[in-house]
Amino acid sequence: MSQTTRFSVDGMTCGHCVQHVTTELTAIDGVTDVQVELVNGGSSPVVVTSDGPLSDEAIAAAIDEAGYALTPRGSLL
């Protein structure tokens, strides 16, 4: 059964940024789809579809590897 995880990422400003984040997130085991709504210079909503639950640590590591930061939890979608 697929699961949807929603969060936001700070620091993205262009399509190239979105590509980096998407590439890193799709490398997580079980991820089947990634959708990013770019908010230039703001907090961009991200929706990840996966085969099962994703750990916060795996998501944070992927976003960090892409060179961006998760929006603090109190601000998540």
Q: What is the pLDDT of residue 20?
A: 97
Q: What is the pLDDT of residue 1?
A: 83
Closest CA to 39 of 67, 18, 69, 61: 18
Q: What is the pLDDT of residue 68?
A: 95
Per-residue pLDDT of the chain (77 residues; tens, 9 = 90+): 899 999 999 999 999 999 999 999 999 999 999 999 999 989 999 999 999 999 999 999 999 999 999 998 644 44
Q: What is the pLDDT of residue 76?
A: 43
Q: How far apart are CA 23 and CA 29, in angstroms?
A: 12
